[in-house]
């Protein structure tokens, strides 16, 4: 699988996870996908990367639901920027 196809497949992963976990902030879904994808960087066989990313991200999100705390949804008074999940990504990396 070339990089272009891999990145397109990850778009589908994000969409499926957002649909599966509608109660989770989309920034957290994005962060879980990014962390899971980053873990597989450098592996020479890329064909199964999107599937592996989806499974790992799903596990992380399920963990976040079972163990709220650092993943609590922000209050209405705290605006979130869904286009910039960097803070959420750092939070996910610290916990996972």
Neighbouring CB atoms inside 10 A of 31's CB total 26
| 79 band by pLDDT with thresholds 50, 70 and 90 | very low
pLDDT in tens, 26-39: 999 999 999 999 99
Per-residue pLDDT, 77: 38
What angle in degrees, to the nearest 10, is found between the helix axes of 3-20 and 26-39?
Answer: 140
pLDDT in tens, 49-71: 999 999 999 999 999 888 876 55
Instruction: Kindly report the pTM of this predicted structure.
Output: 0.73
Expressed as residue numbers, the domain containing 57 is 3-73+81-95
Question: How far apart are the two ends of the chain, measured CA to CA in Å?
Answer: 27
Per-residue pLDDT, 68: 76
Q: How many domains does the chain have?
A: 1
């Amino acid at each position: 699988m070339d990089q272009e196809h891999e990145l397109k497949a990850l778009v589908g992963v994000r969409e499926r996870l957002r649909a599966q976990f509608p109660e989770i902030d989309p920034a957290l879904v994005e962060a879980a996908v990014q962390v899971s994808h980053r873990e597989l960087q450098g592996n020479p066989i890329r064909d199964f990367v999107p599937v592996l990313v989806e499974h790992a991200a799903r596990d992380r999100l399920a963990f976040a639901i079972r163990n709220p705390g650092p993943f609590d949804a922000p209050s209405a008074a705290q605006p979130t920027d869904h286009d910039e999940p960097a803070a959420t990504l750092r939070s996910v990396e610290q916990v996972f």
